[in-house]
């Protein structure tokens, strides 16, 4: 069919109009796209450049060096030892099993190390390094270096690991570190991203735990370049972290070592305080344990051996233990009665061997009685009936108030684990804690350090120091942080009558130096170092039975507190021997030896002991398992 010229012209106009519309739409779309591209590439260039950089660059934390811990003489108690590690990268190793087999023939690798390595390789990306073993010797590192061509994918690294040069001696004081656990992350209110670093170690007990933030330091960082798969290509920048603070403690390593050796195989604790400033020179708990095993990964057998030991080596008994203080508490009752004016120092009480209260009889340790006793003879011979009589006159609330005044019944703010507050009970305490009324019999028991009264060895040493000095001595464990001396707390006068204190001190002197004193057998010879003290024996069962007739865990605790020199006190000591039987027989000889060692800065001359004891003391000095001082200094970095 043939179209007319008019139809052809009309058709051409329609086609041209549509082409123009389509071209205009395309041009508009291209214009919008161009404007958008300009907006993204020009206006938003900085933003997308930053996003690209963040995808290409990664910031990683650099763990800080943990702060060192020293004793009062500058001996190192916690150090950061070089830690040689051997690392494997799967993609570089090729045949992993073959490489591990070759490596195990060159250096000692346990089946546990190899099994753990295989598990880590299986669950990590091929380019991620996996630690095979650490704490290698330099000889092992050298062997690996020589055989590098035969060990593809194997490299060595140098890091740091916590080490405790004096081992068990300071385990309960310094504590130990360990890897951050899920339990730690849940328990700690600490946003520090360092805790997320695999195998990062934090303090688990003792000073290491309580001073964690001070010792940890602040992290550094490094910027690394990675490729699209996340593999590290190079390090672009690095900023080292701020190391943790250095701590100097008040403890004396040599004295602590001697004290633990002297406690021997007993389940016991001893504390030595400086009576002037409250410095803790010794806080020993026996038996002890090696904290290095926890850092390196303690075996199940070793851990079970510690937890199942009836002597509880993991417990820091010096501050955690809470014991009935027994007759050491009698000086509290005596001071409360004298301050209240209910008795004079010369007034006597008749002791027939017991005191009858209603239908109950309260016995004295001496069944035949002590006869007429006054303040001096009651402390010297540790008469129970005298204090039963005083207790009825003075009352429990005034006895409790005096106990707190002398340092008992309060928790000291020390960087040690589970510091116990002890207990100086009152009427209100019993009603609140037990829902029962206080009874007169409770007061009688409390007057001789039994019943509800509890005290730690630390608190007993504080009590001795306060009686010796007449001041409110407060214990101190941290001497300096980064060289800055820490303040001495307390020290204000107790406000006790000086004549009253003088009489009580004289009675304590007679405990050790009078022939009828309960600690006469443990006296110190020589006027310059005479000792004052008080024995104590606390029951752990209500029925009086000979200690020889019952199992160890049912025997009485043995206690002794003392200070010396008598005329110008320098040190106060407390010793508690769990189930030791007798304060005069088990605790007093240990306390005397520890006190003499502190006074002389080492073994005292034999003439400081009674003549009958010198041969035994000589044998003891020859056989005690002490650390050699030169070795100690060399291991702690001072030689």
- As annotated, the active-site residues are 327
∠ CA 532-538-540, nearest 5°, is: 160
* Distance, CA of 62 to CA of 87 (rounded, Å): 18
Strand positions, DSSP E, 275-344: 280-286
* Distance, CA of 220 to CA of 63 (rounded, Å): 6
- Contact by Cβ (8 Å): 604, 597: yes
Q: What's the start-to-end Cα distance of the chain, in Å? A: 118
- Contact by Cβ (8 Å): 601, 540: no
- Contact by Cβ (8 Å): 144, 182: no
Burial profile 469-492: b = 16 or more Cβ within 10 angstroms, e = fewer = bbbbbbbbbbbbbeeeeeeeebee
Query: Which residues touch 231 (CB under 8 Å, ≥6 apart)?
Result: 127
Query: Which residues touch 599 (CB under 8 Å, ≥6 apart)?
Result: 529, 564, 565, 570, 571
CB atoms within 10 A of CB 410: 14
75 three-class SS: coil
Distances (CA, A) of 154 to 82, 107, 170, 334, 551: 19, 13, 38, 73, 58
> What one-character DSSP code corresponds to residue 308?
S
488 three-class SS: coil
HEC assignment per residue over 28-68: HHHHHHHHHHHHHHHHCHHHHHHHHHHHHEEEEEECCCCCC
- Contact by Cβ (8 Å): 517, 489: no
- Contact by Cβ (8 Å): 555, 539: no
Pairing label, strands 247-249, 69-70: parallel
């Amino acid at each position: 069919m043939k179209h007319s010229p008019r139809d052809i012209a009309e058709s051409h106009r329609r086609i041209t109009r549509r082409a123009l519309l389509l071209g205009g739409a395309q041009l508009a779309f291209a214009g919008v796209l161009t404007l958008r591209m300009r907006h993204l590439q020009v206006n938003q260039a900085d933003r997308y450049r930053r996003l690209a950089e963040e995808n290409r660059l990664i910031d990683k934390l650099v763990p800080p060096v943990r702060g060192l811990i020293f004793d009062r003489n500058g001996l190192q108690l916690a150090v950061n030892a070089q830690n040689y590690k051997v690392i494997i990268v799967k993609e570089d190793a090729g045949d992993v099993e073959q490489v591990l087999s070759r490596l195990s023939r060159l250096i000692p690798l346990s089946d546990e190390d190899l099994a753990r390595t295989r598990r880590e390789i299986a669950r990590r990306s091929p380019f991620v390094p996996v630690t095979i073993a650490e704490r290698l010797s330099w000889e092992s590192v050298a062997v690996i270096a020589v055989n590098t061509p035969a060990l593809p994918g194997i490299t060595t690294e140098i890091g740091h690991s916590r080490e405790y040069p004096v081992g068990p001696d300071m385990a309960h004081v310094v504590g130990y570190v360990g890897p951050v656990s899920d339990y730690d992350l849940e328990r700690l209110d600490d946003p520090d991203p360092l805790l997320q670093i695999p195998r990062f170690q934090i303090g688990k007990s003792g000073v290491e735990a309580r001073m964690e933030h001070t010792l940890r330091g602040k992290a550094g960082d490094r910027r690394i370049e990675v490729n699209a798969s996340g593999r590290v290509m190079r390090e672009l920048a690095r900023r080292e972290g701020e190391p943790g603070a250095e701590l100097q403690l008040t403890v004396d390593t040599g004295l602590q070592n001697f004290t633990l050796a002297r406690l021997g195989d007993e389940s016991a604790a001893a504390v030595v305080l400086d009576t002037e400033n409250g410095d803790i020179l010794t806080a020993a708990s026996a038996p002890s344990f090696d904290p290095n095993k926890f850092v390196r990964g303690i075996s199940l057998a070793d851990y079970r051996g510690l937890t199942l030991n009836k002597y509880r080596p993991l417990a820091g008994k010096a501050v955690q233990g809470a014991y009935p203080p027994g007759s050491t508490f009698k000086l509290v009752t005596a001071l409360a009665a004298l301050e209240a004016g209910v008795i004079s120092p010369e007034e006597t009480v008749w002791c027939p061997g017991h005191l009858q209260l209603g239908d109950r009889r309260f016995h004295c340790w001496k069944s035949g009685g002590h006869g007429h006793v006054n303040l001096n003879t009651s402390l010297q011979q540790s008469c129970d009936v005298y204090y039963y009589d005083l207790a009825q006159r003075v009352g429990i609330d005034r006895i409790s108030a005096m106990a707190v005044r002398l340092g008992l019944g309060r928790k000291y703010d020390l960087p040690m684990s589970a510091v116990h507050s002890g207990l100086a009970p009152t009427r209100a305490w019993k009603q609140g804690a037990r829902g029962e009324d206080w009874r007169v019999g409770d007061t009688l028991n409390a007057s001789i350090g039994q019943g509800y009264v509890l005290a730690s060895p630390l608190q007993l040493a504080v009590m001795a120091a306060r009686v010796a000095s007449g001041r409110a001595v407060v214990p101190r464990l941290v001497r300096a942080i980064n060289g800055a001396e820490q303040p001495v707390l307390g020290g204000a006068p107790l406000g006790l009558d000086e004549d009253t204190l003088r009489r009580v001190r004289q009675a304590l002197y007679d405990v050790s130096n009078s022939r009828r004193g309960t600690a006469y057998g443990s006296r110190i010879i020589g006027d310059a170092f005479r000792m004052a003290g008080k024995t104590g024996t606390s029951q752990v069962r209500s029925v009086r039975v000979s200690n020889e007739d019952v199992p160890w865990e049912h025997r009485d605790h043995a206690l002794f507190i003392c200070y010396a020199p008598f005329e110008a006190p320098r040190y106060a000591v407390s010793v508690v021997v769990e189930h030791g039987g007798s304060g005069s027989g088990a605790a007093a000889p240990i306390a005397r030896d520890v006190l003499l060692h502190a006074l002389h800065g080492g073994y005292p001359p034999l003439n400081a002991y009674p003549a009958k004891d010198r041969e035994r003391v000589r044998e003891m000095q020859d056989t005690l398992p002490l650390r050699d001082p030169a070795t100690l200094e060399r291991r702690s970095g001072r030689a």
